Amino acid sequence: MEPEPDAALAAAARAALVREIDATGVWRGDPGLRAAFESVPRHVFVPYYYVNAGGGHERLWGEDPDAARRARWLRGAYADAPLATRLRDGDLLSSSSQPSLMAMMLAELDVRAGDRVLEIGAGTGYNAALLAHRLGDEHVTTVDLDPEITESARRHLAAAGYRPAVVTGDGAAGCAERAPYDRIIATCTLGSVPRAWLAQCRPGARILAPLATGLITLTVRDAEYAEGRFLHTPAYFVPLRGGSRRAPHEQHIGGLPRRALQNELFRFLLELTAGSLDPHEALALWQREERPVRERFGITVSGPYEWAWLDDPEGPYVWPL
């Protein structure tokens, strides 16, 4: 029996997405991760999403009576692009991240069989499904503050055949009842590293999270100490909502050269040093250090203290977070 047209289109679109991610070399020899992207149906997790249209937002959905629009929705569900899935008063509350970025983050998370993973930010549930396919339902916990988000993620996961733990709560507090964890991954931007996460990790655990406009990877030594560097990849996520939000910075940047402000790496430095370093001092540092790349920056958490640094956590360039 031939598959229904929509099922055939979904399978073909998913295979094309996997080939596109293949070309980036991101799997790093992890066949389990590749198999997860081959198997998990992304369209189940985005029954509708929003695209920009004429200065507003157009809603595409899987039950549209128009076959052409339904096919457009399905193809878009497998595009290597982020999808806006929840809006409020025009502001983005939740999204499904770009699949190749998700693949890169999961590869950097470096999960192994038996690892227990905590995800902060349930989103659509797609990332949790990829982890559950890779590790098994019982090893994955995903947390979100919004009960509407966790309920829809739970429905999507069940529809796709996955049942990891989906918890409604403040992601900054982690999920102590399911600890300890070998890996923590956040899909929302942090302002600082929640201390609760360190306490819920096993020694040697890895934390991967967006911060400023980058991705920080931390190795946890114990409940009081973690340290690591940023990856080279830029990353833009919605902020963590809850107890660990960083106050938005409103630095005076008047007089800074437009060319510098348009440089993505300089904007990263401005975000990382917000509230700690005058923007003009940041510009002088950036120029003196010959426009340092993200990988030269890192973060250290030690007891009640947390600081960002350039090159050396005990060197001359350090800033409290």
- Please name the amino acid found at residue 102: M
Which residue in the list 94, 96, 152, 244 is annotated as catalytic? Answer: 94
Q: What is the pLDDT of residue 252?
A: 61
Q: Specify if 244 maps to a domain.
A: no
Q: Specify if 241 maps to a domain.
A: no
Q: Specify if 79 maps to a domain.
A: yes
Q: Specify if 242 maps to a domain.
A: no
| Contact criterion met (CB below 8 Å) for 44 and 62 | no
Query: What digits encode the pLDDT tens for the residues 128-162?
Result: 999 999 999 999 999 999 999 999 999 999 999 99
Q: Specify if 247 maps to a domain.
A: no
Provide the CA 46 distance to its chain's centre, in angstroms.
17
Instruction: Check whether residue 280 and residue 140 sit in a common domain.
Output: no
Active site residue 94: yes
Instruction: Check whether residue 53 and residue 164 sit in a common domain.
Output: yes
Q: How confident is the model at residue 54 (pLDDT cuts 50, 70, 90)?
A: low
Q: Give the C-alpha separation, 129 to 39, whole Å.
A: 10
Q: Give the C-alpha separation, 235 to 156, whole Å.
A: 25
Average pLDDT over residues 212-240: 94
Say how many domains are in the chain: 2
Residue 122 has pLDDT above 80, yes or no: yes
Q: How confident is the model at residue 240 (pLDDT cuts 50, 70, 90)?
A: confident
Query: What digits encode the pLDDT tens for the residues 169-216?
Result: 999 999 999 999 999 999 999 999 999 999 999 999 999 999 999 999
Which domain range does residue 168 map to? 5-229
Residue 284 has pLDDT above 90, yes or no: yes
Q: Specify if 52 maps to a domain.
A: yes
CATH of the domain at 28: 3.40.50.150
Instruction: Check whether residue 27 and residue 167 sit in a common domain.
Output: yes
Instruction: Check whether residue 267 and residue 179 sit in a common domain.
Output: no
Instruction: Check whether residue 304 and residue 161 sit in a common domain.
Output: no
Q: What is the mean pLDDT of the chain?
A: 91
What global pTM score does this model have? 0.91
Instruction: Check whether residue 276 and residue 202 sit in a common domain.
Output: no
Q: Residues 239-259, buried b or exposed e (16+ Cβ, 10 A)?
A: ebbbebebeeeebeeeebeee
